[in-house]
Amino acid sequence: MISYLKTALILFTLMTLLTGVAYPLLVTGLAQLIFPQQASGSLITNNSGKVTGSILIGQSFSNPTYFWGRPSATAPYPYNAVASSGSNLGPTNPALMDVAKARIEVLQKVDPDNKAAIPVDLITTSSSGLDPHISPAAADYQVERIARLRNIAPKKLKELVRLHTEERQWRLFGEPRVNVLALNLALAAIH
């Protein structure tokens, strides 16, 4: 019986060291070597070299002179990566309609002259609550407001949106999208 326990303890210790220490260190080291940007969190820096966020996690923009991202349902504050989750409000829940109406009212209040249909991604949250992207249509919807408030030609902003539109992955998966943080950093650099 003692020999079985000794063998089990040795195997347990060996497997713990292999799978709990050696393997994670190997994978982390290879990731840092092969994909250093992604392994470090895909961080974005501004012109002065200060980290302003991650390309993978949305940020809250409420200033009407910037592009706004998709709403976040995380708590206790928007885009809280520790609390990644959707709102869990189903289509028959009246609270979902109330939240959507409130978001529509905010968008109409900051841009009362815009009579275009509001893209759904400016009204609804993503399943993670952390989505850093909006559709090109959602970015285009905001161009006139930002152009007016910043006194920039709308054509120049549309070109900025076009330059920051990412195509489908491998031209096959997903939809074209615009990273709001990258777009707003570029916007801040021109004005």
Question: What distances in angstroms separate CA 56 from CA 32, 44, 131, 140, one per listed residue?
Answer: 17, 10, 7, 21
Write down the pLDDT at residue 125: 87
State the virtual CA torsion across 159, 161, 163, 167 in degrees, nearest 10. -130
Amino acid at 28: T
**26 and 71 both lie in a single domain:** no
**31 and 59 both lie in a single domain:** no
Q: How far apart are CA 36 and CA 34, in angstroms?
A: 6
Q: What's the pLDDT band for 191 if we cut at 50, 70, 90? A: low
- The answer to which of 49-63, 75-89, 137-151 has the lowest mean pLDDT is 75-89
**115 and 135 both lie in a single domain:** yes
**69 and 114 both lie in a single domain:** yes
**84 and 163 both lie in a single domain:** yes
Q: Record the pTM.
A: 0.80
CA angle in degrees (0–180, nearest 5) for 165-168-172: 165
Write down the pLDDT at residue 122: 94
Overall domain count for the chain: 2
**24 and 97 both lie in a single domain:** no
Q: What's the pLDDT band for 18 if we cut at 50, 70, 90? A: very high
For the cut 80, the answer to whether the pLDDT of residue 85 exceeds it is: no
* Mean per-residue pLDDT, 43-52: 81
**140 and 62 both lie in a single domain:** yes
**CA-atom Rg of the chain in angstroms:** 23
**145 and 183 both lie in a single domain:** yes
Which is more confident, 119 or 3?
119
Write down the pLDDT at residue 115: 92
* Mean per-residue pLDDT, 22-38: 93
**61 and 102 both lie in a single domain:** yes
**69 and 101 both lie in a single domain:** yes
**28 and 92 both lie in a single domain:** no
Domain containing 14: what range?
A: 1-40
Among 70, 52, 53, which Cα is nearest to 141's? Answer: 70
For the cut 70, the answer to whether the pLDDT of residue 187 exceeds it is: yes
